[in-house]
Amino acid sequence: MLGVAVALVALAGAGVAVAAGFGAFEGTPAPPEITSDLNVPSQIVADATKQGFAQAFPQADVSHAHGVIEIQTPDGPQDLWAAPNDQGGQCFFIDYANDPVGSSGGKPGTGGCITPDTYGDSKIVADGPEWGIDHPDLLTIYGSVEVDAATVNIALQDGSTLTAPVAEHFFLASIPKPATSGDAKLERVTAFDATGTKVADWTPSP
Residue 165 sits in a domain whose CATH number is 2.60.40.10
CA-nearest of 108, 67, 113, 54 to 88 is 113
Lowest pLDDT segment from 27-31, 54-58, 154-158, 167-171: 54-58
Strand ranges across the sheet with 170-176: 124-132, 135-145, 170-176
Q: What is the pLDDT of residue 148?
A: 96
Q: What is the pLDDT of residue 57?
A: 73
Q: Summarize the confidence of residues 50-74 as an average pLDDT.
A: 80
* pLDDT of 4 over the 70 cut: no
Question: What percentage of the chain carries pLDDT values higher than 90?
Answer: 51
CA-nearest of 67, 70, 71, 72 to 26 is 67
Q: Summarize the confidence of residues 24-47 as an average pLDDT.
A: 75
* pLDDT of 138 over the 60 cut: yes
DSSP state of 25: S
Contact 104, 61 (CB under 8 A): no
Q: What is the pLDDT of residue 102?
A: 82
How far is the C-alpha of 157 from the C-alpha of 185, rounded, in Å? 5
How far is the C-alpha of 27 from the C-alpha of 73, rounded, in Å? 21
CA-nearest of 142, 123, 141, 130 to 203 is 123
Q: Domain range holding 178?
A: 2-202
- Degrees to nearest 5, angle at CA 157 with 123 and 113: 35
How far is the C-alpha of 140 from the C-alpha of 128, rounded, in Å? 6
CA-nearest of 62, 64, 65, 94 to 77 is 94
Q: How confident is the model at residue 19 (pLDDT cuts 50, 70, 90)?
A: low
Contact 21, 47 (CB under 8 A): no
Q: Specify the number of domains making up the chain.
A: 1
Q: What are phi and psi of 23, to 5 degrees?
A: 105, 0
